[in-house]
């Protein structure tokens, strides 16, 4: 049976990136983990907000600037309330934003661990042509080929062979995208008609 099975992979990184900071209490470079808490200074007309990080070894704190000397009237009351209440969704939004973190601290430790939620959009599990559509909650350092190999339970060499035989096509950016971090908007099309274990691969793709 031919036809296309379209599946959406929603990918959520599991461990927030950790800035590597010269800890003055430890006397050396240490990773700092996100504490999950904001500190807000909302006295008067100007508002400052920081996300607090703590040294993994000695608990020393580092304040990452989120808002700096911002006029109170420029800040939505809902945002201020979220900051003051350590809204977990807002914490997560900042904590997992590795590019923004890197603007404050040059060296950042990133983790490739992700949770993948798979949802069949259309088509049937009988189809032998699969299209995966990626959506990422935040950026990840996890390479696309590692993600696919892990989720399918196959080797990266096999993925490479598929790509060379044009059985696997990545858009945009083609084969280069396989060796780069997985990104939102990437679509991977795989023709599994000739694969003896396609049922296993398809069922892994669909979750
Ligand atoms: Zn320390």
Three-state secondary-structure class, residue 145: helix
With 90 as the cut, is the pLDDT of residue 152 above it? yes
**Token code pair at residue 137:** 């909650």
Between the CA of 109 and the centroid of ligand 1 the distance, in Å, is 16
Between the CA of 35 and the centroid of ligand 1 the distance, in Å, is 14
Own/partner pairs, 104-108, CB within 8 angstroms, 24+ separation: 104/19, 104/64, 104/65, 105/19, 105/20, 105/21, 107/19, 107/20, 107/29, 108/17, 108/18, 108/19, 108/20
Between the CA of 27 and the centroid of ligand 1 the distance, in Å, is 7
The CA distance from 179 to 187, in Å, is: 15
The arithmetic mean of pLDDT across residues 62-85, rounded, is: 94
Describe the strand order of the beta sheet including 18-23 as a list of residue ranges: 61-71, 46-55, 28-41, 18-23, 108-109
Between the CA of 165 and the centroid of ligand 1 the distance, in Å, is 51
* ω into 172 cis (within 30 of 0): yes
Between the CA of 57 and the centroid of ligand 1 the distance, in Å, is 5
Query: Rounded to whole angstroms, what are the CA distances from 75 to 40, 141, 176?
Result: 13, 32, 41
Q: Using one digit for the tens of pLDDT, what is the confidence trace for 23-61? A: 999 999 999 999 999 999 987 889 999 999 999 999 999
Predicted confidence at residue 1, as pLDDT, reads 46
Between the CA of 18 and the centroid of ligand 1 the distance, in Å, is 13
The arithmetic mean of pLDDT across residues 117-144, rounded, is: 93
Predicted confidence at residue 125, as pLDDT, reads 85
Domain boundaries, the chain: 4-14+111-206, 18-109
- Between 104 and 2, the more confident residue is 104
Write down the mean pLDDT value for the chain: 94
Between the CA of 28 and the centroid of ligand 1 the distance, in Å, is 8
Nearest Cα to 92, choosing from 134, 39, 37? 37
Predicted confidence at residue 85, as pLDDT, reads 97
With 70 as the cut, is the pLDDT of residue 2 above it? no
With 60 as the cut, is the pLDDT of residue 146 above it? yes
Between the CA of 47 and the centroid of ligand 1 the distance, in Å, is 28
Between the CA of 49 and the centroid of ligand 1 the distance, in Å, is 23
């Amino acid at each position: 049976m031919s036809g296309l099975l379209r599946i959406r992979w929603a990918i959520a990184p599991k461990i927030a990136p950790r800035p590597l900071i010269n800890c003055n209490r430890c006397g050396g470079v240490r990773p700092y983990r996100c504490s999950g808490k904001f500190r807000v200074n909302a006295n008067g007309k100007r508002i400052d907000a920081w996300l607090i990080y703590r040294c993994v070894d000695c608990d020393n704190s580092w304040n990452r600037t989120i808002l700096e000397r911002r006029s109170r009237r420029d800040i939505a009351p809902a945002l201020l309330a979220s900051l003051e209440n350590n809204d977990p969704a807002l914490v997560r939004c900042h904590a997992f934003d590795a590019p923004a973190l890197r603007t404050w601290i040059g060296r950042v430790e990133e983790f490739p661990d992700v949770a993948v939620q798979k949802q069949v959009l259309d088509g049937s599990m009988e189809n032998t042509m699969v299209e995966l559509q990626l959506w990422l909650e935040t950026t990840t350092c996890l390479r696309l080929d590692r993600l696919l190999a892990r989720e399918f339970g196959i080797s990266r060499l096999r993925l490479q062979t598929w790509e060379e035989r044009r059985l696997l096509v990545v858009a945009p950016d083609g084969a280069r995208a396989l060796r780069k971090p997985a990104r939102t908007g990437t679509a991977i099309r795989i023709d599994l008609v000739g694969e003896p274990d396609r049922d296993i691969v398809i069922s892994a793709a669909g979750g």
